[in-house]
Amino acid sequence: MLKLDLKTAGPFIALVVVFIIGVLVNDAFLSSGNLSNILARSSFIGIAAIGATFVITAGGIDLSVGSMAAFISGCMILLMNALMDTIDSMVAIIILALIASLGIGAVAGLINGLLTTKAKIEAFIVTLGTMGIYRSLVTYMADGGTLSLNFTIGDVYSQVYYGVFLGLPYPVWVFLAVAVIGYVLLNMTVFGRHCFAVGSNESVARYSAINVDRVKTATYMLQGVCVSIATIIYVPRLGSASGQTGILWELEAIAAVIIGGTVLKGGYGRIGGTVVGALILTLIGNILNLTDAVSNYLNGAVQGIIVIVAVYLQRGAWRRD
Amino acid sequence: MSDENTKSLTLSVKNLRKSFGPVEVLHGIDLTLRGGEVHAILGENGAGKSTLVKILSGFEPLTDGELHISDGSGSSQRITLWNNAIAEQAGVVLIHQEFNLAEQLTVAENIFLGNEIKGRFFLDKKTMRTKAQEYLDILRSDIDPDASVAQLPVSAKQMVEIAKAQAKHARVLVLDEPTAVLTQQESQVLFELIDRFRQDGVAIVFISHKLDEIKQIADVITVLRDGELVGSYPALQLSKDDMARLMVGRELNSLFPEMPKVPGEAEVVLRVTDLLLQGNSTPSSFELRRGEVLGFSGLVGSGRTALMETVLGLRKSAKGNSGSVELRGERVDFKQLSAARNKGVAYLTKDRKGSGLLLEKGLVFNFSLFSLHKVSSLLIDTKREEVAFEKAIETFDIRMKDRSIAAGNLSGGNQQKLLLAKILEAEPSLIIIDEPTRGIDIGTKSQIYHFIAQLIASGHSLILISSDITEVIGLSHRVAVMYHGQISGVLEGDEIEEIEIMRYATGLKNKNLEQSGISNAKA
């Protein structure tokens, strides 16, 4: 029992440790401005990672997350700029863009899902392919440069990123909402149970009257919708999109999922762990910014070490059972 | 069979004890394996047979006790260090219940896996291939040494395992339930082979739940019960009844329960007409009535599972299939198992570990997976789920050390009862069960037969696929026999007997041909 608790609590303990390091490194770390910044920044990766938790739990993998985010950003900006001429209400334009964003995310996920289930191509290959496609499309749409959001809309839309409710930025609330919904969906519904079963053993799932293809496709669609939500709160932050947008998001999302204790080969997933994983990754970046002891350029290296150590510890706990 | 085997070996253990953590599972076993003897080890599931043979072959360390080896010279040597490598060096080879073959490699490569013959720098593939062919010839097997193991049927895979044991010059050959996956004919081939090994002075350890086989082949029988040694007996002294009694430790009630008769006017629940299976040219038709057990007999690979899985939507029917499936008079075409389940049809897979249970998941998780819709609206009602599980533990007498264990840690018999509970929780009225007692001890077997009788008594209908002919005969009202993907005959009443079933199963008799013969004559 104690071992099990240690396994569940591991990511939380790591979060506390990283947090204490942050406190020790720089006084500015604890300032409310810095803390809410950390939370807001972790929400992009966090929301995408919640989608990835479903995909990975059901035994899949989605590498197209980052380029999908870039592609959706590009589409949203082009759409909003285009609608400027026909629609007067800024709010209406933004709402249309949000709907379009969610639609594109869902369809992109559907495509990944159908290619893995119906065309029976490995998820790694399918999403490697779509990753290249979306990345290239956004570069093409931007003509190799940058797509910028019209300033008038940008001003209104920026509220979504910079607005504050009860002392916390909106993105944090969105993150929280997605996490709660994700938690309920994964742990308390038939669909969540089916994700575990499919990731654990597809054949058993099939013989248990589970529509394996539908479950897997649904996880990719969820991933697409999560990417779209992350993009919706990300676009107003920069107000632009280019071939460089969202680079490596997929790997950070997968890292957050794994640090959180979800098993990469599927069958076991934890939303709470994923949220903690996203926070840890963002905290590390933030701490490296605040200290001179380690160069900020080594951010990726530190994150990499954390992922490897996290998995090593999990496997150790696994074997002792 | 080969000169390396001529020196016979005696392997004995004294007061062998084995513990997993604090739990002792073998409590002081004495056993002597002699060259030229077939030594059967008998016991219910969980009696400790597999653990014992794993220790004998060095796959598990022993916790306490002595191990002695003597070769022909008569001097016995106490062995202090024993592991798999040393055991194989000494000629003790275990063939696992689940085969240990590299599926992607060829037969020859498998035979010499870990035991490769090397030239100066590289593997000597040519010699290995020639040698592999020799070994297979000695076994009188026509398996191609260049065939990829993945493509071989189970019986051939077993043959490869035996050839592999030969390549290791086995002098003690341990076979853990070798016939569980074989048809009766294939088993007979194996027995001839075992007999030749015996004549060559090899000591054979043979585990099986099939008392007939043990009667046929064993020289010595050792019975285990709950990790205790009941005793070792010369096989001639024990009748099959004695064996069952020693194993269970109590008198057995009759193995097969009284089956309720099918009422004459019972409606047809399932009517399959001219269903064409993939890769087949002859369509299949059969009927199942309410309150009936329809047995499906046939050799392994005769298409029984394929037929049922096609009916259930787990497999696609052949292109151009014009047949139909009617459930209670209504035409159905299941594309998904969930569609069949929603119409009150359930399927118990024969592959308990690969398709039946999620071995690393908990018991409740497994139990409710097939019937989650029953305890869920928007969210899963875990309280109702628990209550249903508690009830099922009672009903199906599922025994476990602790509720929190994973399904894979249940004994085989209890896994099977959990699987049965899982599919019956969906409250099906038509149940298709595939090899329900494979690799299961006689006590649990009898329990499962009684569950089946209860289901029938309460108006369920059942299709029973089984390679165990006694089981099919003991439980079925009618028996359909399959041969090469078609139903060669449906037997009723006095026709249901072993020899007759075998005639249809092996193609000696075929009702389709008889009928077409008659109609041809008429035309």
Instruction: Give pLDDT tens digits for A16-28.
Output: 988 998 888 888 8
Residues of A in contact with B426 (CB under 8 A): 209
B369 with A208: Cβ contact below 8 A: yes
| Whether B20 and B153 share a structural domain | no
Whether residue B370 lies within 8 A of chain A, CB to CB, comes out as: yes
> pLDDT tens across B280-317, in order?
888 899 999 999 999 999 887 889 999 999 999 999 88
What residues of A are in contact with residue B341 (Cβ under 8 Å)? 209
Those residues with Cβ within 8 angstroms of residue A195's Cβ, 6 or more apart along the chain or in another chain: A54, A57, A58, A186, A215, A219, A269
**Which of A208, A265, A321 to mutate to probe the B interface, most B CBs <10 Å?**
A208
Residue closest to B366 by CA, chosen among B408, B309, B413, B429: B408
Sheet with B430-434, edge to edge strand ranges: B345-348, B430-434, B461-465, B293-298, B478-483, B486-492
Residue B453 has pLDDT above 90, yes or no: yes
CA–centroid distance for A169 within its chain: 18
Q: Where are the domains positioned within chain A?
A: 2-320
CB-nearest to B380 from A190, A205, A267 is A190
Assess if CATH 1.10.10 describes domain A2-320. no
Cβ of residue B521 closer than 8 Å to a chain A Cβ = no
Across chain B, mean pLDDT equals 87
Closest CB from B351, B361, B380 relative to A188: B380
Q: Which residues contact B65 (CB under 8 A, 6 or more apart)?
A: B13, B14, B15, B16, B17, B28, B29
**Encoded tokens for A316:** 């150790």
A227/B152: higher pLDDT:
A227
pLDDT, mean of residues B404-415: 88
Matching residue, tokens 């199942």? B288
Residue A267 touches chain B, beta carbons under 8 Å: yes
Share of chain B above pLDDT 70, in %: 94
Domain around B138: 101-168
Q: How far apart are CA A308 and CA A311, in angstroms?
A: 5
The answer to whether B284 and B275 have CB atoms below 8 angstroms apart is yes
CA Rg value for chain A: 20
Question: What's residue B202's pLDDT?
Answer: 92
Q: How far is it, in rounded angstroms, from Cα B476 to Cα B473?
A: 6
Task: Supply the DSSP string of B402-425, one letter for each residue.
Answer: -TTSBGGGS-HHHHHHHHHHHHHT
Q: Is the ipTM of this complex over 0.90?
A: no
Q: Is B372 on the interface with A (CB under 8 A)?
A: yes
Asked if A200 and B341 come within 8 Å (Cβ–Cβ), the reply is no
Q: Quick one: pLDDT band at residue B426, thresholds 50, 70, 90?
A: very high
The single residue listed with the structure tokens 């944090």 is A172
Select the residue of A188, A189, A209 nearest B341 (Cβ to Cβ): A209
Q: Which two tokens stand for residue A193?
A: 């149970």
Rounded to a whole number of angstroms, the distance from the CA of A174 to the nearest CA of chain B is: 22
Q: What is the pLDDT of residue A270?
A: 93
Asked if B100 and B161 touch (Cβ cutoff 8 Å), the reply is: yes
B314·A207 Cβ contact <8 A: yes
Of B110, B134, B168, the one marking the end of a domain is B168
Rg (CA), chain B: 25
The tokens describing B427, both together, are 């409250």
Q: Are A84 and A152 in contact (CB under 8 A)?
A: yes
Q: Which of B355, B360, B422 shows the shortest C-beta gap to A200?
A: B360
**Residue B141 touches partner A, C-beta closer than 8 Å:** no
Same domain, B81 and B187: yes
Q: Could you tell me if B243 and B370 lie in one domain?
A: no
CA distance A203 to chain B (A): 5
Q: What is the pLDDT of residues A215-238, one digit of tens each?
A: 999 999 999 999 999 999 999 988
Beta-carbon separation of B358 and A211 below 8 A: no
Given a cut of 70, whether residue B72 has pLDDT beyond it is: no
Helix (H) or strand (E) holding B383: helix B382-396
Nearest residue to A204 (alpha-carbon basis) of A189, A218, A194:
A194
A320 pLDDT more than 50: no
**Which pLDDT band, with edges at 50, 70 and 90, does A6 fall under?**
low
Mutate to test the interface with A, among B345, B357, B359, B369 (most CBs of A within 10 A): B369
| Domain count across chain B | 3
- Alpha-helical segments (H) within B57-150: 84-90, 107-111, 125-138
Per residue in B83-117, pLDDT tens?
Answer: 888 888 888 999 887 778 888 889 988 888 877 88
Please indicate if any CB of chain B lies within 8 Å of the CB of A181: no
- The phi and psi torsions of B32 (rounded to 5 degrees) equal -130, 125
CB spacing of B337 vs A207 below 8 angstroms: yes
pLDDT band at B518 (very low <50, low <70, confident <90, very high): very low
Predicted confidence (pLDDT) at residue B45 exceeds the cutoff of 80:
no
Helix axes B184-199, B154-167, angle to 10 degrees: 10
Candidates A198, A207, A217: best to mutate against B (most CBs of B within 10 A) is A207
Closest approach of chain A CAs to the CA of B369, in angstroms? 6
| Pairing of β B203-207 and β A240-242 | unpaired
Q: Does B155 lie in the same domain as B122?
A: yes
Asked if A26 reaches chain B (Cβ–Cβ under 8 Å), the answer is: no
Q: What is the pLDDT of residue B444?
A: 87
Nearest to B373 among A190, A197, A200 (CB): A190
* Residue contact B357–A204, C-beta within 8 A: yes
Residue B154: inside a domain:
yes
In the prediction, which pLDDT does B523 show?
35
**Buried-state track B489-522, b at ≥16 Cβ within 10 A, e below 16:** bbbeeeebeeebbbbbbbeebbebeeeeeeeeee
B336 touches chain A (CB under 8 A): yes
- Chain B interface includes A89 (CB < 8 A): no
What's the gap in Å between the CA of B306 and the closest CA on chain A? 14
- Tell me, yes or no, whether B80 and B221 share the same domain: yes
Nearest CA in chain A to B338: A209
Is residue B296 a contact partner of residue B465, using CB atoms and an 8 Å limit? yes
Per-residue pLDDT at A316: 64
B233/B227 Cα distance (integer angstroms): 17
- Strand-strand pairing, B461-465 and B430-434: parallel
Residue corresponding to tokens 């030229």: B36
Residue B73 lies in a domain: yes
Domain boundary among B405, B427, B449: B427
Domain end: B383, B409, B427, which one? Answer: B427
Looking at chain B, which residue has its C-alpha nearest residue A201? B358
Q: Which two tokens stand for residue A68?
A: 């999908």
Say whether B360 and A267 touch across the interface (CB within 8 A).
Answer: yes
How many residue pairs bridge chain A and chain B with CB atoms within 8 Å of each other?
A: 66
Contacts with A204 from chain B: Cβ below 8 Å: 354-358, 369
Same domain (yes/no): B64, B210? yes
- Looking at the fold, whether B179 and B205 belong to one and the same domain comes out as yes
> Please, which contacts does B401-409 make with residues 24 or more away whose CB atoms are closer than 8 Å?
B403/B363, B404/B362, B405/B362, B405/B363, B406/B359, B406/B360, B406/B361, B406/B362, B406/B363, B407/B357, B407/B358, B407/B359, B407/B360, B407/B361, B407/B362, B407/B363, B407/B366, B408/B353, B408/B357, B408/B359, B408/B360
Query: Could you tell me if A209 lies within 8 Å of chain B, comparing CB atoms?
Result: yes
Q: Across the strands, what pairs with B172?
A: B92, B203
DSSP B200: T
- Cα–Cα distance for residue pair B284/B349, rounded to 1 Å: 21
- What is the pLDDT at residue A88? 84
Mean pLDDT of chain A: 90
Among candidate residues B407, B412, B309, the one with its CA nearest the CA of residue B364: B407
Which residue in chain B has the smallest CA separation from A194? Answer: B369
Q: Chain A: nearest CA to B24, how far in angstroms?
A: 18
Residues of B in contact with A198 (CB under 8 A): none
| pLDDT of B341 above 50 | yes
The per-residue pLDDT for range A157-193, each reduced to its tens digit, is 988 888 888 888 899 999 999 999 999 999 999 999 9
CA distances from B152 to A203, B145, B147, B192, B458 (A): 21, 11, 8, 21, 42
Contact residues, chain A, for B418 at CB < 8 Å: none
- Longest CA–CA span in chain A (Å) reads 65
